[in-house]
Amino acid sequence: MRHFGHISPAVRESLFFREPCAFDAGSSSRMLSAALGATLYSPATRPRLADDVIKQTGRGVVSMVLCLEDSIDDAEVVGAEANLVRQFADLDARDAEAPLLFVRVREPEQISDLVRRLGTSVRLLSGFVLPKFTEERGELFLEALTAAEAESGHRLFAMPVLESPELLHLETRGETLRGIARTVDKYRERILALRLGVTDFCSAYGLRRAPDMTAYDVQIVGAVIGDVVNVLGRADGTGFTITGPVWEYFRLQERMFKPQLRRSPFMGRAEELRTTLIEHDLDGLLREIELDRANGLMGKTCIHPSHVLPVHALSVVSHEEYSDAQDILRPERGGGGVLRSAYTNKMNEVKPHRAWAERTLQRAEVFGVAREDVGFVELLAAGLTD
């Protein structure tokens, strides 16, 4: 699989200076953690789940979570588990291309039970999403995952969800973060990414952000995200990939504020695209994706297929970013120093910008580098029309 693999080779060639690389479920954890992109969640109760997975793969989805937790009623869990087993067997029998597939469980015991019940179709499973992750719960989940991997002989990753009230509340946040850090460090080779449960954060205070506001506009949520990145997202080799929070909206809502998309990038034939994005409240999503990146997050939880392409389009590295990153990381710059960018519009300071440059080239590997005259508008338009 590859990002933008659903569009034709000719269109890809016109868009990319350097095309996204190919990867699969057996690729390194470093590559997969960067490649997750828009991780699309789906309730495990869907009766045609195998068809849904194949359909979304054809639309450019590379990672999905099949959910047994908050997206389904408590009374549906047993039936949803049985449905998962059937749908995995269906996918396995078709031998169709599938994205990275994860199952969001409720309790540690479900991990080993599901792995056994999946049988040979476990080969399609990349791992588990672990909800309400704390040091105590996390240890139990990760022990169960380790045992299931050993029993099945199949590599399994974990994606803990940081969403517990102890993490949100100021008086317990510090120790909760330190406990989570101890646990994920102990099982580092199994942690693909850490996910943020912002809906649960808001729930603890009876809050819900409007479609024209981002998670960062809710100050209590923004503060938690900052602290999570501070402790768990460091660029010194101790950090982990942390993914962006879910965007909840996908239908037209009554707007209070002006649209957040300027007209100038959409002049000409793309003006219709701008209107569509605004009508579906995706201008707020685009702003939140940019703020995710500015705050050190990579990838995003998605609950609607319309969110996938904007996440991926804004994950592509611009030609300017790529040029800066390459300049900073040239071997002859190892001693540091300051240089003017090739675009002559900024200062590149070698030592302070090195970690940014390394992260940028990692993103370039999996999402590609746009041609000099290609921006996110062209990437969005191509993905929607090809």
Contact 291, 214 (CB under 8 A): yes
Q: Buried b vs exposed e over 65-95: b needs ≥16 C-beta within 10 Å?
A: bbbbbbbbeeeebeebbebbbebbbbbbeee
Q: Could you give the CA distance from residue 80 to residue 72 in angstroms, rounded to a whole number?
A: 8
Neighbours of 295 (CB within 10 A): 17
C-alpha separations of 11 from 15, 309, 376 in Å? 6, 15, 14
Q: Could you give the CA distance from residue 181 to residue 322 in angstroms, rounded to a whole number?
A: 32
Pairing of strands 347-349, 100-104: unpaired
- State yes or no: 200 annotated in a binding site: yes
Looking at the chain, list the stretches that DSSP marks H as alpha helix, in order from N- to C-terminal side: 9-15, 29-35, 49-57, 77-94, 109-118, 135-152, 165-168, 170-186, 198-203, 219-232, 271-279, 282-294, 308-313, 319-328, 350-367, 376-385
**Hey, what are 361's tokens?**
């080239």
**Hey, what are 250's tokens?**
């996908």
Pairing of strands 38-43, 300-302: parallel
The alpha carbon of 23 is separated from its chain's Cα centroid by a whole number of angstroms, namely 16
C-alpha separations of 119 from 50, 224, 265 in Å? 17, 40, 50
Dihedral sign for Cα 117, 67, 186, 137, please. Answer: negative
- State yes or no: 171 annotated in a binding site: yes
Q: Buried b vs exposed e over 229-259: b needs ≥16 C-beta within 10 Å?
A: bebbbeeeeebbbbbbbbbbbbeeeeeeeeb
Binding residues for Mg(2+): 171, 200
Binding residues: 171, 200
